[in-house]
Amino acid sequence: MSITQAFLIHLICGVGLAVGFWVAHNVYSINLVSHPSHTLRLILVVETPIVILLYSCFRQNPDNCSYLKAVVRAILGLPVGALINTFGAIALGAPVGIQYLPKTINWSLLMSLFTFVPAASVFGSSWADWHRIFAHTKPNRTVEYMICIPAHAAIIGAWFGAWPMPLDWEKPWQEWPICVSYGAMVGYLVGIVASLGLALLRGRQQHNKGD
Amino acid sequence: MGDDTWVQLFPHHFKKAYPYPSFNVKDLHTVDNGCIEHLLPSLYEEDWDVLIAHFLGVDHAGHILGVDSLPMIEKLEQYNGILEKVIDVLGSQSGQGGLHENTFLLVMGDHGQTINGDHGGGSAEEVETSIFAMGFKKSPTSIPSEFDTSSCEINLDQKNTCISTIQQLDFAVTVSALLGVPFPFGSIGRVSPELYALGAGTWNLESTNGDNSQNHSKEEEWMQNYCNVLCINSWQVKRYIDVYSASSVIGFSLKDLSYISDIYAQAEEIGSCSFKNSLLYNESSNSLLPALRRQIDTYFNFLLSVAELARSKWTEFNLQMMAVGLGILFFSLLIHFLAIKRITNPYGISLFPSGDSEVSIRLIIAYSVVVIRACSFLSNSYILGEGKVAIFLLATTAIFKLRYSVKRKMMLIEAIIFLLLIIILRFTIEVGLSKQAMTSQFMSAHSSWMLEIALGHPIWIHIAEIIPILALMLLAYLLYMTMISSSSWGICKYAVLGTSLCYILIAVHWASESTIWSSVPMLQGIGKNSIPRIVPRIIYVMGLGQLLLLVFGQLFNKERALNSKKSLVIKTVAMLSAYSSTVIILSGKQGPLIALASITGGYCIMRLDNIEQDPKDNTAGALTFDPLSVTQWSLLATCLFFSTGHWCAFDGVRYGAAFIGFDEFVLVRQAFLLTIETFGFSHILPVFGLPFLAARQYLMGQTEQDGKLLFLQLSQIYLMYGFITATTVTATIICVTVHRRHLMVWGLFAPKFVFDVAGSVLTDILICLAWLYYLGREDGTKLSTQ
């Protein structure tokens, strides 16, 4: 997979996020601060097909595994990733309660889309690859950079996004999950750029080695 | 009329009150309209001596909309209009014999504002405000010039306006003097001559003495009067200072006190209050002005000296001592750091083993977590939610450890159990936070949904009574299992047996308090009164006995233990169990559950210790270094402090615990028990339990190691723990220094400072004691051969 393909994919994913926000703002007149749950759901609706369909093109074993199978396992990976993200968020202190349930569900599905779903569609159930990407953090190919780095960056961004929550500024965006979502999305975008840069660097290194 | 805070502060003092709710900062008009409605009509009534109208709109407008906003300007114009009306009414009625002949009007603010509209800090624009005073009866002459401190300038309308200042300190006593009521006991202000002169009544006081008042000018009369008032004022201030010095723990220094007394004696010598002066009055017809002036000046000198002394003692911080203290702390941090380096490096097999980058990543994460926690003390919101911050950081480290365990494909269960434990601890911390919010003035109370569940069905009450007893049984069982797993227990066996007995006694104690006990008719009479008193005392005595047994056993133990690590583990278990029964009974029904949580947490941390390191690389004799585990241990200890329902304020201390087993109050004994209860789970048990981290490899069943290496490992761990504590305390102290003029310094930052310093001193003492106990027999001979 080439750098230009990676660049295009990331561009489309980023644009998808922007489209989600645009639709929320112009068509429904809501935004993340006023109606977090709905906005997140809207962004999900826009972004999920983009991510799943695009990443499934680059599945690990195109011979053994059909496109449809990759899409299906990505869809299955979405709730699993959501559960893991929710678990982590609750351990870190996310509020628990009936009134927070829709927000938490939407947030965790979005986080799963950033972190879990690309890997699920590309790798499926090959545990060794998951292990290499997420536990050892040693991506090799360009597609692995595309999966690994935005995922880690989204989580780190969400972690930093939780910092304003206990402060007493009494701003509406300090509620759960607004600032955390902003942090995650900023992290994701930074991760996209970083992954392209690193993949480019690695490509150049290999090119020099090859010569 | 106006702000309802007056009625809350003085519920029975006002004959008529028209309070309006003042908390809604967005509401600019309710209080003011209420005031206006009642103010002008009240001016026509005869039945009041003091009328207070408190307008609030300006304050709210400044906070919400800013100093330059349109509503602010409108409010100011509105007040201007009202003021003009009031002055008209008062003026029209102030003729001879009129309703308001002797009325004195004061218009003032209670505080200023910054450019953002906020207040509460110490800047000039916040603490300076304006006062407008008007007396309606024309004073015969203006105030004697030496008392006029006003500065004049030409204002925008080309008129000469003169403004003077008065300290807020002087306000209470000046108004009391004008009203003719006794001066407040604790006031140390002086009667302001300018305001006093405005009160026209003060000029005519001597006119009833018929005969020779015409000889002396009005000015002299007034000064006579003012001198008398100052005399009373000085006497009142002197009396207050004397009473304060007699009854305060840290009063003024003797030098300062004698200086003040000298000035007062000087003033008294010149002339006392009115009695003597009226004699002088009769004797000579010469002008008394010079004598009066001298006397007034001496009184001024006295009162100003007292005010200055009070300011320097009560409102100024001794920045020099603060700098010295901070310097000492930084020095101690440096020594800690150098000591850790020296221990790790010279035997330096393992600071950077094969996993070079991994150790540095762990080091960076551990230090970052500590630094983040330390920096969080700079904000008052993070201090209020300190438990949440601690859990957040602990969960972060736990997620890192989970990642490492997935990487190494081992200890996965322990990592997940640790995360589950963190989730449980987090909920208990939130319960504690909601309790704190109920009494705190800084937190808004959101009632926890868990508390709502808990109070309810009787079945929950029964369950809540049985669970602690079951937990105690589980603890006793765990102790038993540990004991039978090894044979070389020696004298420690008796300590552990004693603890099991204590647990049974505690269970009996709690069972006797439960509803089930009283519902069984046979047991109803037994021990209702005696058990709550006897059982705790037995447990305290036994705990003390176990400690002494262990310490003396250590002192007189002649034999070298065959396996140092094994003996270390045994000693640790024995020591922990000796403390545990006292801590558990003092903590109440939550004690055994928290003990189980801390055992689980400690076990998981221990198992995940050094998980990064490849076991194949661990050559015999290597000193392992995992700062992340020690950081986790320290964070877990902090979380346990908050889980047991404590917080760093004086209302966060569970005073009831000091009286378990005792009814009367004896200071030392009760304070001792209270210290154990407050710091038991968060300082005492974690410090004495740290050797588990060092002895990890014994419990993992690996080969025995040299006693010397164990000594170094344990020292290293204790030094790291001490370093972490010292870092957080230094951060707290820096934060209190920076925020010493903050609005919440006495409500929030100072109590946090006290708790942190107390905890740190206790930690240091405990580390020394633990080090001596565990390693005191490891003599230096083995070291010196190296």
H helix or E strand, kind and range, residue B106? strand B104-108
Tell me which long-range contacts A78-81 makes (C-beta under 8 A, separation of at least 24).
A78/A48, A78/A109, A78/A112, A78/A113, A78/A116, A78/A117, A78/A120, A79/A109, A79/A112, A80/A112, A80/A116, A80/A120, A81/A108, A81/A111, A81/A112, A81/A113, A81/A115, A81/A116, A81/A117, A81/A120
Concatenated DSSP letters of B132-180: EEEESSPPSSPPPGGG---EEEE-TTS-EEEE----GGGHHHHHHHHHT
Contacts of B44 (CB under 8 A, 6+ apart): B89, B99
Out of B379, B392, B406, name the one closest to residue A92 (CB): B392
Judged against a pLDDT cut of 60, whether residue B351 lies above it is answered with no
What residues of chain B lie within 8 A of the CB of A83, using their CB?
none
Using the CB atoms, write b or e for B344-373: b if 16+ within 10 Å.
Answer: beebeebeebeeeebbeebeebbbebbeeb
Token pair recorded at residue B101: 């002949």
Point out the residue among A93, A135, A136 whose CB comes nearest to the CB of B392: A93
Instruction: Supply B357's token pair.
Output: 């980058």
Tell me: pLDDT of B529 over 90. no
Higher pLDDT, B637 or B510: B637
B446 at the A interface (CB within 8 A)?
Answer: no
Q: Which residue of A has its CA nearest to B450?
A: A97
Whole-angstrom distance, CA of residue B275 vs CA of residue B265: 17
**What residue ranges in B68-127 does DSSP mark as E strands?**
104-108
Give the burial class of A208: count Cβ atoms within 10 A of its Cβ; 0-12 exposed, 13-18 middle, 19 or more buried.
exposed
Distance CA B426, CA B432 (A): 10
pLDDT band at B710 (very low <50, low <70, confident <90, very high): confident
Can you give the three-state secondary structure of B361-392, one letter per residue?
HHHHHHHHHHHHHHHHHHCHHHHHCHHHHHHH
> In Å, how far is A124's CA from the nearest CA of chain B?
18
What's the gap between Cα A211 and its chain centre?
A: 36
Strands B19-20 and B104-108: unpaired
Contact B585, B332 (CB under 8 A): no
A36-82 per-position pLDDT tens digit: 888 899 899 999 999 888 888 887 777 777 888 888 889 999 999 99
pLDDT one-digit tens code per residue, A178-203: 999 999 999 999 999 999 888 888 88
State CA B674 to chain mean position distance.
17
Q: What is the number of structural domains in chain A?
A: 1
Mean pLDDT over A141-158 rounds to 90
Q: How far is A23 from chain B (nearest CA, A)?
A: 33
Chain B residues within an 8 Å CB radius of A135: 403, 406-407
pTM of the model: 0.82
At B346 the pLDDT is: 67
B434 close contact with A: CB closer than 8 A? no
Q: How far is B125 from chain A (nearest CA, A)?
A: 23
The chain A residue lying nearest B423, using CA atoms, is A91
Q: A199 is in which domain, residue-wise? A: 3-210
Token pair for B90: 């008062």
Q: Cβ of A93 and B388 within 8 Å?
A: yes
CB contact under 8 A, B407 and A135: yes
Q: Is the pLDDT of residue B786 over 50?
A: no
- Closest Cα in chain A, distance from residue B88 (Å): 44
**Per-residue model confidence (pLDDT) at position B446:** 58
Nearest Cα neighbor of B782 from B687, B728, B710 is B710
- How much is the mean pLDDT over chain A? 88
Determine which helix (DSSP H) or strand (DSSP E) holds B2, and give its type and residue range: strand B2-3
pLDDT in tens, B656-683: 888 888 888 888 999 999 999 999 999 9
User: If we measure between CA atoms, which residue out of B306, B386, B375 comes closest to residue B639?
Assistant: B386
Contact B139, B198 (CB under 8 A): yes
Least Cα distance to A85 among A17, A15, A18, A177 occurs for: A177
CB-count exposure of residue B78 (10 Å: 0-12, 13-18, 19+): middle
Cα–Cα distance for residue pair B2/B17, rounded to 1 Å: 9
Beta-carbon contacts of residue B281 (< 8 Å; ≥ 6 apart): B212, B288
Does B422 contact A136 at a Cβ distance shorter than 8 Å? no
Interface test with A, best of B357, B379, B423 (most A CBs within 10 A): B423
pLDDT beyond 60 at B348: no
Single-letter code of the amino acid located at B643: S
Residue B107 pLDDT = 92
pLDDT exceeds 80 at position B216: no
- pLDDT value at residue B174: 92
- Which chain B residues are Cβ-neighbours of A87 within 8 angstroms? 419
pLDDT value, residue B527: 63
Residue found by looking up tokens 């701003």 in the block: A171
Contact at 8 Å (CB) between B15 and B49?
A: no
B599-618 pLDDT per residue, tens:
999 999 988 887 766 655 55
Identify all chain B residues contacting A96, using CB atoms and an 8 Å cutoff. 427
pLDDT band, very low/low/confident/very high, at B207 (cuts 50, 70, 90): very low
Is residue B445 over pLDDT 70?
no
Higher pLDDT, B564 or B19: B19
Q: Considering only the beta carbons, identify the residue of A90, A134, A167 that sits closest to B379.
A: A167
Q: Tokens 């408190």 identify what position?
A: B54
C-alpha distance from B639 to closest chain A C-alpha (Å)? 13
The answer on pLDDT for B206 being more than 60 is: no
- The answer to whether the CB of B148 falls within 8 A of the CB of B194 is yes
Selected residues 343-382 of chain B with any CB under 8 Å from a CB in chain A: 379-382
Tens digits of per-residue pLDDT, B106-136?
999 888 888 877 777 777 888 888 899 888 7
Give mean pLDDT, residues B156-180.
86
B387-419 pLDDT, tens digit per residue, is 999 999 999 999 999 998 888 888 899 999 999
Signed CA dihedral, B717, B719, B720, B726: sign only: positive
